[in-house]
Structure 1
Amino acid sequence: MRMLKMAAFGAAMALSGCIDVDMTATILGADHAQVNGFMQVDRQTLDMMGGGAAFCNEEEGGTLTVTDTEARCDMHVDGTFAEVFEGDPGEPVPTATDLGDGTVRVVFPIAAMTADTAEMRADPQMAAMMAPMLEGHVFTMRIAGAEIVSSNGVIAEDGKSASFTFPLAEALNPDYVFPETFETVVRY
C-alpha cells in the first residue's frame, strides 16, 4: 500500500472513528523518498473488514501485528516519488516536485482526503453517534528531510520535519476548517 493509498484508506477509516494513523515521508533526493508509519485499528474492526489482507498488504510494504485487542499495520516503502506517492486512478494524489535547488515541494490534498466530513457534520444523528468513536483518535502526516525550508504545518524544533495532525473529534466541529493542502518545502 503506497503512501497515498495508505493515507486515503487511513483517512476514511479514521473518520469512521476506529483507527489511528501516523505516517512520515522522508525526502532523500530529487526523486527518492521513504515512507514509514502505521495504522492501528481495534481487533473487532479488523475482523469486520475481512481480516489482515484488507487492512495491511505485505506486498506493498505492510507488516501486520495482531493482538487480542488491536491490529497494527507498520508500513515501510522506499522508492521514486511516483512509486511512493502512487494512487488509484481518479483519486487525489500528493505531489512531490524537485525544485532544482536541492529542495522538493510536497503537497498533500487534505481537503480532498477529508471531504466526507461535511456529510457527518450535516447529520446531527450521525455526529452524535460518531463523537464517542472519534474521541482520542489522531491522524498525523509528516514530511521530513535534512531541513524544512517552509511549511503550512507545524515545524519540529530540530527543523527537520513538518507535520499536519488533527484530533479526529474535530471532524465533527462545524467551526474546524481543514486546510486545502498540507504543503512543505524540504531540503534533501
Structure 2
Amino acid sequence: MRRTSMGLALAAVLPLAGCFDADVTADFTDTSAVRLDAVMTMDPEVYDLTQGMGEDPCEDGEGSVNSDGSFTCTMGDTRTLDDLLAAMDDPENDLGIGEGVEIRELDNGNISVSFDLSEMTEDLPPEEERQQVAAMFGEALAGHAMTLTVIGDEIVSTNGEILGDGTAARLVIPLTVMFDPVLAAELPQSFDTELVPGG
C-alpha cells in the first residue's frame, strides 16, 4: 500500500522551532471530488528566518505573505475517490502533498484514513534540542498546533475526537506537546479513522 499525504512540507519549518499552525483536511463527503487540503501559517519571525536562510517554505504549494507579515502556504488536491484509491497503489502517481497518510477502501465499502504521526513529524530536532526549544520558546509555542481533520457522511470510529453531528473526526497536536519529548511520547503512533463516504 502506497502512502501519500497532506504533510505540507513541514521539513522546512519544524527544525526552526518557530511558531506555526498547520491544518490538514481530508474531505470524503463527495466521492466525485474528494478534497485533500493542507494550510500552514507561519508567524512573521519564522517566515523572516526562512527567508534569511534561503529556504522556500512552500516549494510544492501556493504561498502568500499576509498583511501582518505572517506567511500562508496552501497545498491541495481534488480527485474522484476511485482515482485517489488508485493513486495509493501507483508509485508513479504523486499527489504532491507530502508523506504520511494511507487511504484505503474496506470490504464494507467504508474508507480507512491513517495519518502516520511519526512520519509526519520525522523532521523534528533530536530530543535534546527539542527540550531546549521547549525551554526557550515554550510561551511562544502556546496556542499553536497541527490539526488533522477527516470528514465523511459518518465517522464510524476514530482514535481522535468526533465532532458535532458525527461527520468529522479531528486530532489536535499542540506545538507545546510536539516539542516536549515526554508529552510527545504519549501521542498515538497514528491518527486513524474509519468513515462512510458521501455519494
Q: Are the equivalent residues in 2 in contact too, given 1:43–1:67 (CA < 8 A)?
A: no
Counterpart of 1:182 in 2: which secondary structure? strand
1:15 Cα deviation after fit: 7.8
Aligned equivalents of 1:175, 1:44: Cα separation in 2: 26
Q: Mean Cα displacement is larger for which, 34-43 or 166-175?
A: 166-175
Aligned equivalents of 2:34, 2:96: Cα separation in 1: 12
Q: Note the 1:51-62 alignment, pairs <5 A.
A: 54-57=56-59, 62=62
CA RMSD of aligned residues (A): 3.3
Letter in 2 for 1:174: V
Letter in 1 for 2:193: T
Aligned equivalents of 1:36, 1:123: Cα separation in 2: 28
Q: Are the equivalent residues in 2 in contact too, given 1:11–1:114 (CA < 8 A)?
A: no
The counterpart of 1:114, out of the listed 99, 121, 125, is: 121
1:56 Cα deviation after fit: 2.7
Aligned equivalents of 1:145, 1:11: Cα separation in 2: 31
Q: Note the 1:54-93 alignment, pairs <5 A.
A: 54-57=56-59, 62-79=62-79, 80-81=83-84, 82=87, 93=100
Give the corresponding residue for 1:187.
196
Cα pair distance change 1:126/1:36, threshold 3 Å: closer
Give the corresponding residue for 1:16.
17
Q: Are the equivalent residues in 1 in contact too, given 2:127–2:181 (CA < 8 A)?
A: no
1:66 Cα deviation after fit: 2.5
Aligned equivalents of 1:184, 1:109: Cα separation in 2: 12
Counterpart of 1:69 in 2: which secondary structure? coil
Aligned equivalents of 1:118, 1:159: Cα separation in 2: 36
Q: Are the equivalent residues in 2 in contact too, given 1:24–1:35 (CA < 8 A)?
A: yes
String of CA shifts for 1:2-45, please: whole Å, max 9, x gaps.
Answer: 84341x5179539823210112111243x963123421112232
1:122 Cα deviation after fit: 7.1
Give the corresponding residue for 1:103.
110
1:50 Cα deviation after fit: 3.0
1:102 Cα deviation after fit: 3.0
Letter in 2 for 1:64: S
Letter in 2 for 1:180: Q
1:133 Cα deviation after fit: 3.1
Q: Are the equivalent residues in 2 in contact too, given 1:56–1:64 (CA < 8 A)?
A: no
Count matched residues.
Answer: 180
Structure with the bigger percentage of helix:
1
String of CA shifts for 1:79-120, please: whole Å, max 9, x gaps.
Answer: 2433686566xxx52110011433110111113333566834
1:135 Cα deviation after fit: 1.5
Cα pair distance change 1:23/1:40, threshold 3 Å: same
Letter in 2 for 1:111: S
Give the corresponding residue for 2:187.
178
Counterpart of 2:182 in 1: which secondary structure? coil
Aligned equivalents of 1:167, 1:50: Cα separation in 2: 25
1:134 Cα deviation after fit: 1.5
Letter in 1 for 2:75: M
Cα pair distance change 1:5/1:40, threshold 3 Å: same
1:144 Cα deviation after fit: 0.6
Aligned equivalents of 2:114, 2:170: Cα separation in 1: 12
Q: Mean Cα displacement is larger for which, 15-24 or 76-85?
A: 76-85
